[in-house]
Amino acid sequence: MSLSFTPEELRFRDEVRAFIAARLSPELRRASSLNVSFFSDPDIVAPWQRALHERGWVAPGWPREHGGPGWTATQRWIFESECAAAGTPQLSPMGIKMIGPVLMRFGTSEQKKFYLPRILSGEDRWCQGYSEPGSGSDLASLKTRAVRRGDHYAVNGTKIWTTHAHFANRMFALVRTSDEPRQQDGISFLLIDMASPGVTIRPIMMISGDHDVNQVFFDEVEVPLTNLIGEEGRGWTCGKYLLEFERGGGINSPKLRYALEKVRGLANSGLSYKAILLQKIATKLSEIELDVQTLEFLELQVLSALQRGENPGPVSSVLKLRASEIHQAISRVGVEMVGQNALVEETRRPLHALKDRPLIPEEVLSVVPRHLNGRANTIFGGSSEIQRDIIAKQVLGL
């Protein structure tokens, strides 16, 4: 057992550092640090994705044959850690970490050849069509229907909580193609062109003032039969595979560490609080620090298992549960640290391009919106209650 990096791994780390230093401009870094949504806005992401694409580093987890760098688990860890520590923009996971792996596993060779390069280049921007107004945690009850009509499906229904639907040109969606005794069996996995006639998008504003999510309506939307992934009626398998990536496939602790460092930094920004309050906050920060260290070690154990060629299994639910709770603890203590500066509600976006000087210091601007948005962490991607159900069933055999 060892936590230290080999000389080759240290050289790789230096290479990543040098790349970031050369390509991450101060403007981009500032814009990224003032981003309060889960995904960075496309105008922040695009230049960074171009830089990564030139280097072949857009999709750290992808194998070489599909245009990824073919990194080891440790190299991926190093890359994610360096990006988090430098505060690089976060690429949308919906192409790279969600639909990408599904296409590699279940897609036809034509589908892979067409879609995968467009994810890497940024030409395609994906959104996820899973939840519906009546189907949240009980996802398998979804009602959006796709009916075969000649060489296409006719899709009718609605999807909700669709992050960045207003920026996306494509959606991967779970739709009902038949009614079966077990409702999971009638679900198929479809790719939908967002420019198709009959697609409408209604923005949903969040309590932070952000517009990230939407409701999407489908009215007789024609989707070619060739846009089906896997077999008809077997979409639930693809959907679950994707959710495992959404929950645990990622490396979360470096980002949490970066967020915690930023919150610690608020204590040095000359805001006035009583010393006694700071004392209490110091112990809170220590408790969160220990939670991050623990999660980090759990993630490294998963990486070690992957490196040995083992499947990490349902531990992704443990990681998702803890990462989301820690994320919320960090943003909550951030609000405590800014004192009465929390009173200012700044709903203009993007925060890096405000026309006039706001009432509160720049490093404080993002604190409250991030806390408000962060409440969704324990809800999306399967709520904490669903994660506990999964642990009870799949890990504990209950």
Partner 1 sequence: MDLTPSEAQQMLRHSAQRFIAEHCDPAARRHAMQDPMGFKRQNWGKFADLGWLGLPFPEEVGGFGGGPVEVAILMEEFGRGLATEPYLSTVLLAGTLIAECGTEKQQKGLLPAIINGERLLSFAHYESDARAGLSEVHTVAQTDNHGWTLHGRKIAVLDAVSADVHMVSARLPGAQGAGLALFLVPKDAAGVTLRDAPRLGGGRVAELTFDHARLVPDARLGSGAEVLPTIQSVVDRAIVALSAGAAGMMRSMFDATLDYTKVRKQFGRPLAANQVIRHRLADMYVECEEARAMAARAALLVGADTDSTQRSLAASGAKVKIGRCARNVAEQAVQLHGAMGVTDELDLGLYFKRLLVFEALFGSVDYHLQRHAELFGNSRAE
Binding site for partner 1 (CB under 8 A): 1-5, 9, 74, 77, 264, 279, 282-283, 285-287, 289-291, 293-294, 297-298, 300-301, 303-304, 307-308, 315, 318, 321-322, 385, 387-389, 391-392, 395-396, 398
Minimum distance from CB of 304 to partner 1 (Å)?
Answer: 4
Return the number of the residue (33 or 72) whose C-beta is nearest partner 1.
72
Return the number of the residue (20 or 321) whose C-beta is nearest partner 1.
321
CB-CB contact of 328 with 375 (8 Å): yes
Minimum distance from CB of 321 to partner 1 (Å)?
Answer: 6
CB-CB contact of 186 with 140 (8 Å): no
Minimum distance from CB of 298 to partner 1 (Å)?
Answer: 5
- DSSP output for 137-196: SSGGG---EEEEETTEEEEEEEEES-TTTTT-SEEEEEEE-S--SSGGGGEEEEEEETTS
Return the number of the residue (45 or 243) whose C-beta is nearest partner 1.
243
Return the number of the residue (308 or 355) whose C-beta is nearest partner 1.
308
Return the number of the residue (200 or 294) whose C-beta is nearest partner 1.
294
Q: Which residue has the tokens 């949490």?
A: 256
Question: Distances in Å between the alpha carbon of 318 and those of 253, 357, 386, 388?
Answer: 13, 42, 11, 8
Minimum distance from CB of 288 to partner 1 (Å)?
Answer: 11
Structure tokens at 84: 């988090």
Return the number of the residue (176 or 320) whose C-beta is nearest partner 1.
320
Return the number of the residue (276 or 398) whose C-beta is nearest partner 1.
398
Nearest to residue 389, comparing CAs of 322, 327, 328, 314?
Answer: 314
Minimum distance from CB of 336 to partner 1 (Å)?
Answer: 15
CA R_g for the chain: 22
Give the C-alpha separation, 236 to 242, whole Å.
10
Nearest to residue 125, comparing CAs of 90, 96, 103, 105?
Answer: 96
Minimum distance from CB of 284 to partner 1 (Å)?
Answer: 9
Nearest to residue 243, comparing CAs of 144, 131, 371?
Answer: 131
Minimum distance from CB of 38 to partner 1 (Å)?
Answer: 23
